[in-house]
Amino acid sequence: MQLAIRPPVTCGCKSRNPWRKIKAASPLNVVLAGLSGNAETMMSSNSTDIASSVDVVLIGGGVMSATLGTLLRQLQPDWKISIYERLDTVAEESSNAWNNAGTGHSALCELNYTPQGADGKVDISKAVAVNEQFQVSRQFWAYLVENGVIPAAGDFLTAVPHMSFVWGADNVAFLRKRHEALSAHPLFAGMDYSEDRQQIAQWAPLIMQNRPKGEPIAVTRSLMGTDVNFGALTRLLFSYLSGTKGCVLHTRHDVQDIRRDEDGQWRLKVRDLRENTDRIVRSRFVFIGGGGAALTLLQKTGIPQAQGVGGFPVSGQFLRCTNKALIARHRAKVYGKASVGAPPMSVPHLDTRMIDGKPALLFGPYAGFSTRFLKQGSLMDLPLSVRPGNIGPMLAVARDNWPLTKYLIQQVMQSQEDRIAALRDFIPDAKAEDWELVVAGQRVQIIKQDPQKGGVLQFGTEVIASDDGSVAALLGASPGASTAAPIMLNVLQKCFASKMPEWTDRLKAMVPSFGQKLANNPALCQQQFDRTTKILGLTL
């Protein structure tokens, strides 16, 4: 195996290396010396083996690690892969179906992807980019279904209309301009627009029932939308990976530290939480995909790219409908406009979900604040992430983002009556007894250094990798899981540049548009959309 790895980086201060004592231990030296090539000591999740050497380590049992692992298994079936998840099972944090909106972000309904400028023009460039990314995910999933890697897509993917809903003259004018701009693009063909109350009532009866007359309203609707159970998809992918030779999934294992060895490989200290034992794992490549916790491990790598990077955690809550009759009357994802200062993942929406074969109806999210980086993380996550290199950018972000701070304070102070009042913007006659509050997942937004402002808060997702491509981490949130496939293709291109000529044909078999832009090729766009719709069974 040949990775794009440059000569190892050493710190030149061996006496301060916390790994030195472990490495010098006689039993471990014997084990490591006896490892030839990349032979792995095959470990089950309750094994007491203390050392292994693999080609790839994936940290985190979410959809990102599952997607990257599946891509690598298809490209290099001879590589040894170890996956480490801190919890009892996979897909329990951000990938869990109840911890995200499952929208299948394709910018069909999310208004934050189409900002309106001071000149009144609607910018659709971000929407086009997000939609294109989701089409890549669809192509990858279609390949997996078509080739028997996972069963029929109905286990995790459902066709659900995507709608945008606004009220007030200014917002109606905005939505009309947005529709004009998007519907002319091949990625958004067939999007409907209406200001007619009777038509809107047919599309989404709950939002029109007992709605006061007089106020202008407007809706766009696309039948190209989906609901995705990312938890189910993640479990399917890990089930496939665990059934392949040379790939081992370790649950209840916590990666506590990561350092580079003199030979360029990465040395990970892994705690077996069942047996309360430690082991050392050496790997040529490491992907840190542990949700918000990825930041802490990225910092421990010591790579220059991690300098100045901080995180800002935002929690979320939803109202979940308990009235089966109401759930049955609504089948759409209806997105509105975000409040001033709200982060992108806090755009209000009335959301049809299909979770483990059962329909559900959610409204929210209501933002909150916690110092945890994971839903099941520690209250010390944020304080312990502060470093001399990132405290400046973090303070600059705190200084420059008062609207966000004010918004979060208002959200945290909300009562149940306040939440129901917000729901009544979408369902005018909503009753409090039909809804219960549920806590969703944690999201950690990226804070980075900025030469002008000192620090900036970013709301997207970003891959941060070492110069030699031997370690990479995924930070950020929305659109997140929906774009797992294109994000992991980005990881491959960043970290395995020397392998790309060998892999390109195989990648094109998995993602036919790989290396092209669907936005620039209407014929290919329509062809792939029709093909994936059929394979994935997405006809309404």
pLDDT for position 346: 65
pLDDT for position 366: 83
Are 350 and 330 in contact, with CB atoms under 8 Å apart?
A: yes
Element counts in the chain: helices (H) and strands (E): 17, 19
How many Cβ atoms sit within 10 Å of the Cβ of residue 471? 27
Cα 300 to Cα 203, 312, 385, 434, 523: the distances in Å are 51, 18, 10, 47, 47
Quick one: which of 88, 65, 92 has its CA closest to 252? 88
Contacts of 493 (CB under 8 A, 6+ apart): 500
Quick one: which of 216, 224, 172, 222 has its CA closest to 197? 216
Please state whether beta strands 266-272 and 217-222 pair in parallel, antiparallel, or not at all (unpaired).
unpaired
φ/ψ of residue 328, rounded to 5: -70, -20
The pair of three-digit structure tokens given for residue 421, joined into one six-digit string: 């009042």
Quick one: which of 228, 154, 162 has its CA closest to 537? 154
pLDDT digits (tens, 9 = 90+) for 230-260: 999 999 999 999 999 999 999 999 999 999 9
Angle between helices 63-75 and 230-242 (to 10 degrees): 40
The pair of three-digit structure tokens given for residue 134, joined into one six-digit string: 């989701």
The pair of three-digit structure tokens given for residue 56, joined into one six-digit string: 């790839």
pLDDT for position 531: 97
Q: Global pTM?
A: 0.86
d(CA 161, CA 184): 19
Q: Where are the beta strands (DSSP E) in 390-469?
A: 435-450, 454-458, 461-465
Residue type, 135: Q
Quick one: which of 227, 220, 158 has its CA closest to 482? 227
How wide is the angle at C-alpha 455 spanned by C-alphas 453 and 458, nearest 5°?
115
pLDDT for position 51: 52
Query: First-to-last CA distance in the chain?
Result: 45
Are 495 and 470 in contact, with CB atoms under 8 Å apart?
A: yes
pLDDT for position 440: 84
Low-confidence residues of the chain: pLDDT under 50: 1-2, 4-50
pLDDT digits (tens, 9 = 90+) for 212-230: 998 999 999 999 999 999 9
How wide is the angle at C-alpha 73 spanned by C-alphas 70 and 79, nearest 5°?
140
